[in-house]
Each structure stands twice: as C-alpha cells, then as structure tokens.
Structure 1
Amino acid sequence: MLSTQSRPVIEATLPIIAERISSITPKFYQRLFTAHPELLDGTFSRSNQKNGTQQQALAGSIAVFATHLITNPETTPETMLARIAHKHTSLGVVEEQYPIVYEHLFAAIAEDLGDALTPEIADAWTEVYWLMAHALIKIEKGLYSQQANATAYSPWKLVERTETGTDSVTFSFEPADDTAVTVAAPGQFVSVRMPMADGVRQVRQFTLSNDIESTTRRTVTVKLDVDGEFTPVLHNSLKVGDVVELSNPYGDLVIDEDGSPLVIATAGIGCTPSAAALQVLAAKNSTRKITVLHADQEFSAWPLREQMLASIDALPQASISTWFERGELPEGLDAKAGYMDLTDSLTEDSQVYLCGPLPFMHAVRSQALAAGIPADRIHYEVFGPDVWLAA
C-alpha cells in the first residue's frame, strides 16, 4: 500500500510518467547494459531489446502497477506480478539484482524528466518501485523454494529431434548430470540457454510439449523464426548429443482441476501447451468435458497434430474443431475454412485457455467476453515479453 504522503504525488504524476515511461525504458536499458554488459550474456534477449518488446513490457508493467496502487490500494495486480515472477525465475533473477535495476532506472527517469523530477516525486516513485520489487522478490523466492534443486540452469543432452508440421521441430533432452529434476505441470515452460555464433549465450522460453511429469526427459517443440537469432541456431546447428542448459519449469498457465467445461483455443505453435495438457489429461483418464479448437495456416502446417488427436481420441468427453486459412480441408475432422469462431463452443461455466499470436488471442478473447465468459475464467500465454497484459 502506498504511504499517505506518496499517494497524492503518484496520483498527480501518473499521467506524465505513463506518457514518458516508453521513452524512459530505452534509456534505462542503455545505461544498464553499459554498466553491466554481462547481463546480455545469458540473461536478457538481444532480439527483444532490438525489436523493443522488452522495453514496452517493462514500461507497461510499471504503469499498470502504479495505476493499480491508486485504483485498488488494498491489493496488488497479482496476475501481472505472477507472470513476471515466473519469467524472472526461469532466467535466474535474484534479489541482489533489484538495486542495480533501481539505480539505472531512476537515473534514466532523472535524465528524461530533468528539473521536473523534484525530490518529492523521486521519493514517491521510489516507493512504487520498491513496493513492486519486494512483491516480486517474495513471489520469486517462493517459486525457487518449490524446485527440486537450487540451480538456475543445469545441463541437458539432446537425445531426439523430430520434424512436426511446417518449420517446427520437437527436441527431447535427457539430464547430462545428476542435478535433481523438478516435475513440471502441463502448460509450463523452460528456459533454454545456449551460445550464439559469436559465443554470447542467449535465452528463450519454450513450453514443454511432451513428457510433462517425467524426471528423465524434457521435450519442447519450437517453430523456426527465420528472422530471429535463437531458433535458427536451435533448428540448424543443434545435433543429437549436443548439450544445452535448461532451467527448472515455470509458468502459471496450468490447467485448473475444478471439473468445469474446458475450452482450449490455440493457433499455430501456440498449440504446445494444449498438446501437453491433453496428454496429461488422457493419461489420468479424465472424464471432463473438453473442447479443443485449433487454427492454422493449413492442415499440413499444424505442429503436434498426431499427438493432440491421439490424446483427444483417448478422452471420452473431448472433441475438436479446426480452422485453416488455405489448402484443402481434411476429411474426418471438423474443419472449416477461415478464422476461428468459438461462440458455439462456450457455456457460462467454461474455463477458457488461449495461446497463439497476439492478434488471434485478442480476437478470440473478445468473442469469449461477448459470449458472457467472465474475464477471470479466460487464461492465456504470450510467447515472449507480455506486451498485452502490460498494455
């Protein structure tokens, strides 16, 4: 909760800070990496810095947090904080790094605002920063304490790679040392860390798509981004027998177990958490009503198709509908041309899970809200910095 002296200051200055924060965050990262270039080796994504999504996500999260303190003074934005904390722990972020971020963030604020940043304003926004930081530190310590080991990363050896769909590959890894393995939940992700061509390590998060509850195997399915930095190395250079670093599993897009009708709507490579969840539900002989909806460019492009269909066949109350933008529609499958429409698949008590490109999730979430599904029953996962929630 904000102090009584800071609250009116934040309320008065929030509009200008919210307006300027997108200019402040690039200055912050420039200062941070100048002082700590090592953070670009294995912690921060160079691609997300280059395309601006990391700056956008940080700017939005600060503005959202401050706004929440004003409009809901007795609580914090738990969903946003949880997602940030899961991403942080998958990168190995620790409490000692928060003062470093504070130093360079507030130097950037001072640079941007100049004489307009009075001591009173600086003190109030310092309070906001540390309220957010301490909330994240508390969540992150709790997440770390749940792991089977105290190591941010451990070595895993690639033992199998399989083509699936168009430009997607499933990679399976086994432990390369005796580090204790944390059991994952369906919908969670791991960070993969490996060196790029220049020797600098980069990190990306990928949803576990198979072998979810295994302690001897981790499996991810990755779509090639031909313009990216990381996935071309993963697709074109990583060979069976090579060793990479994997984090413990994190992520809060875990299918609930309340028994209500379940609707899973995905597009493209966003089907990875769906494939994982369906496999686990089938293994547990679930009798829950499950509606699976998937959209893709064409039938042959659909990653993990065989795995998903096999799981659905094993679930007595599961059904699937599909949409394809082009190509011949498959026989024996409820398939339509065009874009997904989930209106007829929803009931008021549905739990809805979304994963796919942001425009797809915007459109489908709007359909769910229009159908009367409460916002707190609509869950989603963004691959990369969460610019949607921050906006």
Structure 2
Amino acid sequence: MLSPKSTALVRATLPAVGGAIGEITPLFYDKLFAAHPRLLSDLFNRGNQADGSQQQALAGAIAAFATALVEHPDVRPDAMLSRIAHKHASLGVSREQYTVVHRHLFAAIAEVLGDAVTPEVAAAWDEVYWLMANALIALEARLYERAGVLRGATWRPYVVTARHRETADVTTFVVRPADGRPVPAARPGQYVSVQVALPDGARQIRQYSLSGLPEDALQFSIKRVDGDPAGEVSGHLHEQVAAGDTLQVSHPFGDVVLDDGDGPLLLASAGIGCTPMTGMLAHLAATGSTRRVVVAHADRSESTHAFRAETGQFVAKLPDAVAHVWYERPEGAWPADRTGFADLSLIDVPAGTTAYLCGPLPFLRAARAQLLAAGVAPADIHYEVFGPDLWLGAEA
C-alpha cells in the first residue's frame, strides 16, 4: 500500500508523468543499453525494441500500476503482476536487475521532467517503483521455487528430436532434455522461452506456446515472422535448427492455463494464436473430458490454418464439443457467414462459460466485447498475447 503522503504526490503528478511516459521509456532504454549493451543482445527482444512495442508495454504497465495504487489503494493488481512475473521468470530475470532498471529509469524521469521532479516527488515515485518491483521479485521467487530451479536458473539444454511443418510458415519442434532428466511439468496454455545464438553473437530469446504435451518431451510451434530484426529468431529456427541440434529452453511458465473445473469452455483464437488452444484441446481429449467445449478460430485461409486437422480430430474425440472456423479468403466453397473476421456473437455461448482467447490485439478486443455482450463474466475471460502486452491495465 502506498503511503498517504506519496499517494497525494503520485495522484497530483500522475498526469505529468503519464503524459511524458512516451518520452521517458525510450530514453530509459537508451540509457540502460548504453550502460549494459548485452541486455539488448541477450535478454530484450531487439524486434520489439525496434518497433517501439516494448516501450509502449513498459509505459502501460507503469501507468496502470500507479493508477491502481491511487485509485484502489486496498487492491493490488495481482492479475497484471502475475502476467509480468511469469514472463520474467521464463527469461530468468533476477532481483539484481531491478536495481539496474531503477537507476536508469529514474535518470530518464529526471531528465525528461526536469525541475518538476522535486526530492519529494522523486521519493513518491520511488515508492511506487519498489512496491511494484518487490511484488514482482516475490512472485518470481515463488515461481522459481515451484519450478525447482535456482533463482533465475531456468535454462536447460534440450535436443530437438523432431520437427514438423504445419503450414508454409509454421513449424512444430519436439525437444527432450539433453541431460536425460525428466521433462518439467507443464500445464495446458503455458509457454517456454527459447534462446538461440545468432551470427552476430547475440543470444536472443523468444517465447512460444506449448502446442501439445507429448510424453517425455516438450512441443512448441513457431510461426516465421517476416522482417528484420522482428523475425530473426523465428527465421533462424526455421532455417538452421534440425533434429539432433541443441536449444536452450526455459522451464514452462504462464498464468493463462486451463482450469480444472467441469464447466463449459470457449477456446477462441486467430492465426498462430491457435497454438495454446491446440495444447488445451489435446489435454482435454487425452483426459477424456466431458466438458462442453466450443472452439472458435479465425485464419486467412485453409492453407494457413495450423493444426486444422488436429483440431477436428480432438473435437471429434470430445463428447460435447463443436468447432467454428472463419477464413478471410477461403480457397474453396465456404459459408458466407464464416467468411471474413471471427464473430463470436453468431455462436451459442453456454451460461457459465470460461473463455480463453489468443491472437492479435484487435481480435482480442473484438472477441472480449462480443463475449461480454453474450453475458460472459469479465473475470471468466482470459487472454494471451504474443509479444509485449500492450493491453496491460487497459482492457476495453
């Protein structure tokens, strides 16, 4: 809880800080990478830095957390913190790195806001930062403990035992621990981080959803992303990594996981967002679930729809499941009401449904709005975003 004095100061200065956050965060990253260049090459996503999405995500998280502290002082934004903590744990973030971030972030704030940052204002925002940082440090420590790894030591070498081409730009990799130890437990919906050594010496990291849970192995599927450096890791994995090669892979993390209840489910996705949904469907089919399951997926066409056949097979194995698919550009005869973007208002959503969404941000916003209109409770709508979460604290 923020102290009364700091609450007043943060409330008074939040408009100024929020208004300048678009200048503060790029300057912060410039300072951080100037002092610690290996962080850009070995921890942060260079593609997200180049297009500005990481800066936007950081700005949104800071503003959302500060707003929550002053508007709802007795309620900690645990959902937001949990999402960030899982991402950090999968990267192996350590307690010491929060001190490094603090130093350069506050230097950027002081430089942008100048004389407006009095010692009292600086102390108030310092309190905000350490409330957020210490909460994340504690959450991450529990995640490391639960995973059975030392603080930040989440990486293990895995051998690629198989790779399968799903579509022209989606490939599935199956990996097993190189040391022969057991595969870590994973829950449907979680992801792993994969680190690759690139030709320029960088060791870039990307996170990929588990698209299945094969015995004694981990399975993740990767869509090749166009552009440089946005697609440097996916391109490397598609072109350079074959069966028998070794990858550095993290313990599975992620807080958007299939619940253990028996109520109805809606699994809605667009594009490569089908990967965690396929993992969830595989689990439901393997465990003989009798839950009511509604699958909704949108894609460009039949040929770009990864796991199209598998989805049909899993749905057929479930006694009370149905699938709805939309294609923007169908390649053959296709119903008119299933051509174009997904429209969840066209399907029957059972009362008491728990919904899981994954896909691009416009799809998530539209799907969430349609589900709310259908009577699904906001607390029962869970989402996963690939890349920086620009929705943190700003759900519409």
Q: CA deviation at 1:311?
A: 1.1
Q: CA deviation at 1:257?
A: 2.0
Residue 364 of structure 1 is matched in structure 2 by 367
The letter of the residue matching 1:222 is I
- Partner Cα separation in structure 2 for residue 11 and residue 285 of structure 1: 52
Encode CA deviations 1:27-86: one digit per residue, 9 max, x unaligned: 111111111112123211111111111111111100000000111101211111011000
Q: Of the candidates 278, 302, 315, which is equivalent to residue 299 of structure 1?
A: 302
Residue 62 of structure 2 is matched in structure 1 by 62
Q: Give the alignment of 1:114-129 within 5 angstroms.
A: 114-129=114-129
Encode CA deviations 1:242-277: one digit per residue, 9 max, x unaligned: 111000000011011222211111111100011000
Encode CA deviations 1:214-242: one digit per residue, 9 max, x unaligned: 4x211111111121221111111112211
1:191·1:206 contact (CA, 8 Å) conserved in 2?
Answer: yes
- Partner Cα separation in structure 2 for residue 211 and residue 330 of structure 1: 34
The letter of the residue matching 1:210 is G
Q: Of the candidates 374, 389, 396, which is equivalent to residue 386 of structure 1?
A: 389
Quick check: 162-171 or 54-63, which moved more? 162-171
- Partner Cα separation in structure 2 for residue 277 and residue 51 of structure 1: 31
Partner-residue secondary structure (3-state), 1:76: coil
Partner-residue secondary structure (3-state), 1:233: helix
Residue 263 of structure 2 is matched in structure 1 by 260
Quick check: 271-280 or 371-380, which moved more? 371-380
- Partner Cα separation in structure 1 for residue 393 and residue 197 of structure 2: 30
1:285·1:315 contact (CA, 8 Å) conserved in 2?
Answer: yes
Quick check: 369-378 or 317-326, which moved more? 369-378
Q: CA deviation at 1:174?
A: 1.4
Residue 130 of structure 1 is matched in structure 2 by 130
Residue 279 of structure 1 is matched in structure 2 by 282
Q: CA deviation at 1:335?
A: 8.1
Runs of 5+ in structure 1 lacking a partner? none
1:165 matched to 2:161: no
The letter of the residue matching 2:40 is L
- Partner Cα separation in structure 1 for residue 28 and residue 181 of structure 2: 36
Identity among equivalent pairs (%): 48
2:183·2:218 contact (CA, 8 Å) conserved in 1?
Answer: no
- Partner Cα separation in structure 1 for residue 389 and residue 333 of structure 2: 34
Q: TM-score, normalising length from structure 2? A: 0.95
Assess, with a 3 A threshold, how the Cα gap between structure 1 residues 330 and 254 changes in structure 2: closer, same or farther: farther
- Partner Cα separation in structure 2 for residue 179 and residue 39 of structure 1: 30
- Partner Cα separation in structure 2 for residue 136 and residue 330 of structure 1: 51
Q: CA deviation at 1:22?
A: 1.6
Partner-residue secondary structure (3-state), 2:33: helix
- Partner Cα separation in structure 2 for residue 303 and residue 330 of structure 1: 19
Encode CA deviations 1:258-297: one digit per residue, 9 max, x unaligned: 2221111111110001100011111111000000011111
Partner-residue secondary structure (3-state), 1:22: helix
- Partner Cα separation in structure 2 for residue 280 and residue 312 of structure 1: 12
Quick check: 293-302 or 34-43, which moved more? 34-43
1:43·1:91 contact (CA, 8 Å) conserved in 2?
Answer: yes
- Partner Cα separation in structure 1 for residue 385 and residue 175 of structure 2: 24
1:312·1:318 contact (CA, 8 Å) conserved in 2?
Answer: yes
- Partner Cα separation in structure 2 for residue 179 and residue 205 of structure 1: 22
Assess, with a 3 A threshold, how the Cα gap between structure 1 residues 318 and 334 changes in structure 2: closer, same or farther: farther
Q: CA deviation at 1:92?
A: 0.2
Partner-residue secondary structure (3-state), 2:276: helix
Runs of 5+ in structure 2 lacking a partner? none
Residue 42 of structure 1 is matched in structure 2 by 42
- Partner Cα separation in structure 1 for residue 383 and residue 332 of structure 2: 27
1:205 matched to 2:207: yes
Q: Give the alignment of 1:211-230 within 5 angstroms.
A: 211=213, 214=215, 216-227=216-227, 228-230=231-233
Residue 25 of structure 1 is matched in structure 2 by 25
Q: CA deviation at 1:385?
A: 0.7
The letter of the residue matching 1:21 is I
Q: CA deviation at 1:181?
A: 3.2
Encode CA deviations 1:89-141: one digit per residue, 9 max, x unaligned: 00000111111111111011011111111001000000000000011011101
Residue 80 of structure 2 is matched in structure 1 by 80
Residue 353 of structure 1 is matched in structure 2 by 356
The letter of the residue matching 1:169 is T
Q: CA deviation at 1:300?
A: 1.6
Residue 322 of structure 2 is matched in structure 1 by 319
1:165·1:300 contact (CA, 8 Å) conserved in 2?
Answer: yes
Residue 184 of structure 1 is matched in structure 2 by 186
Q: TM-score, normalising length from structure 1? A: 0.96
Quick check: 55-64 or 364-373, which moved more? 364-373
Q: CA deviation at 1:348?
A: 3.5
Encode CA deviations 1:162-212: one digit per residue, 9 max, x unaligned: 111231111111111245532100000000001112121000000010126
1:310 matched to 2:313: yes
- Partner Cα separation in structure 2 for residue 358 and residue 130 of structure 1: 30
Count, aligned residues: 388
Encode CA deviations 1:343-375: one digit per residue, 9 max, x unaligned: 232233111111111111111111111222221
